[in-house]
Structure 1
């Protein structure tokens, strides 16, 4: 794995750790509300709390998967492609179904990492 690919994958993993933090650890904070464009009042609803915390765990698992890939895997490129591919697809889906900004905010870093893994390794 090239240094560029590794740096991009680390950035993607850190982004998903931050999303986990917002969604699962401080789901009704002003920062979470501002980041996701949801009112603080809506975020306080029990159903929304359950849903957003669940979504946060998915983001944590993506970060853990990328972290495992970078630290322990003997096949870093293949697993890196798998995880950044997953994240890219999910970001496109989220952009189409929820908010177009997801494609830029979550998708672009993952897509750049994916392209670097495919093109430079």
Structure 2
């Protein structure tokens, strides 16, 4: 169960690095416009906003990687991972309600699954 937890948390972190790259560096490219269903005009107008969004996604990934690889105290590691996964779940719910419903499944669901497995694997009963 702990290995599955680490894999799911790692997946969520890597996914948010990918989102960072898409939003900060690939927003106005063919791939970025296809992923986010943008016209070239809309991509141009919203590029600065996307870079800001990408940075926040990077902070989520950084927090998860920091907890996974650098926090040694198990209680602090558990709580930090819990915090960042809850942040991703909330962002997924908010994004699905305000931007695109599929965000609930592409970002929110993996984080929620990682959260549940992380809790089950590490919570002291």
What TM-score, normalized to structure 2?
0.90
Identify the residue that residue 111 of structure 1 maps to in structure 2: 112
1:48-101 Cα shifts (integer Å, max 9, x gaps): 111000000001111111000000112322111110110001100110111110
Separation in 2, partners of 1:116, 1:77:
12
What TM-score, normalized to structure 1?
0.93
For residues 1-121 of structure 1, the aligned pairs below 5 Å read 2-45=2-45, 48-73=46-71, 74=73, 75-121=76-122
83-92 or 67-76, larger mean C-alpha shift: 67-76
Structure 1 residue 33, shift from structure 2 partner: 1.1
Moved >3 Å (runs of 4+)? none
Q: CA RMSD in A?
A: 1.2
Q: How many residues are matched?
A: 119
Q: Which runs of 5+ in 2 are unaligned?
A: none
Name the SS for the 1:44 alignment partner. helix
Q: Which runs of 5+ in 1 are unaligned?
A: none
Name the SS for the 1:26 alignment partner. coil
